[in-house]
Amino acid sequence: MTGDRFSVEGATAIVTGASSGIGRVVAEQFAADGADVVVCSREQENVDPVAEGIAESDRPGSALAVECDVTDRDAVVALVAATVEEFGGVDVLVNNAGASFMAGFDDISPNGWQRVLEINLTGTYHCTQAAGEHLKDGGGSVVNVASVAGQQGAPYMSHYGAAKAGVVNLTRSLAYEWAGDGVRVNCVAPGFVATPGLEAQMGISADEIAREDVERRVGTSEEIADVVQFLASPAASYLVGETVAAAGVPDVLESPDV
């Protein structure tokens, strides 16, 4: 196997939630590898610097910034149309847009519950369905970004955990449906990642993390981007419907007393 199998060179990729954190690094890494990327977020002013940074760098891939709220179906359809108009198609869709807040279950309002599900789960549905026709044209790849919270549960983030559990199940279910159309659907479930959001909440900066350390529970956006690129690349050709947990040192459950 050669390194080319891990490349996304020549692909056109849509990356949602790309104004910062994991989404931004995914877009930058794809462009560095020779992919054309469409980066989107809810505010144009937040995503323009990402595309401009790619254009001004020596990365071979091109970038297009599009304002898009993934909960707005019309905006998502426009996002896909802009991608096709600019680059001629869609080969990879990275559903990374997400949001949450911490609250006990009793304190989550119906509006708060609905909003978290709309962004994390319904947004993934909108983007995937809207891009489906183009992904099936020649065989594409969908990489959903879920969370270990969707696999293990998350106290004080039950709305987020439920939404991400839906993303994990959607990944598995859709993988069966679209495999016959040549589309691979997979998922990555990050644990704690040193994004600007985590730094604001917990004071943990990416600058404090050594990637060579194995015994740790906080990762970097680059490490998640590596998994996303692998899942999008030909190297993952036999992975269909899988969710890859990227969460550092695994939790160890104590054995019950006998």
To the query of whether residue 156 is one of the catalytic residues in this protein, the response is no
Domain span at residue 126 reads: 3-246
Q: Is residue 223 part of a domain?
A: yes
Q: Is residue 251 part of a domain?
A: no
Please tell me the distance from the alpha carbon of residue 56 to that of residue 71, in angstroms, as a whole number. 31
Q: Is residue 201 part of a domain?
A: yes
Q: Report how many domains make up the chain.
A: 1
Amino acid 217: pLDDT: 74
Amino acid 118: pLDDT: 98
Q: Is residue 257 part of a domain?
A: no
Q: Is residue 208 part of a domain?
A: yes
This prediction has a pTM of: 0.93
Amino acid 121: pLDDT: 98
- Which of these is catalytic: 156, 160, 176, 238? 160
Residue pair 98/145 in contact (Cβ under 8 Å)? The answer is yes
- Pick out the chain residues at pLDDT < 70: 1-3, 196-212, 252-258
Q: What is the pLDDT of residues 43-77, one digit of tens each?
A: 999 999 999 999 999 999 999 999 999 999 999 99
H helix runs in 34-186, sequence order: 44-56, 73-87, 110-117, 123-135, 149-152, 158-179
Q: Is residue 253 part of a domain?
A: no
Q: Is residue 255 part of a domain?
A: no
- Nearest C-alpha neighbor of 145 from the set 91, 92, 216: 92
CATH value at residue 112: 3.40.50.720
Amino acid 258: pLDDT: 38
Q: Is residue 254 part of a domain?
A: no
Amino acid 199: pLDDT: 54
Q: Own/partner pairs for 99-104, CB < 8 Å, 24+ apart?
A: 100/157, 100/159, 100/160, 102/156, 102/157, 103/156, 103/157, 103/159, 104/156
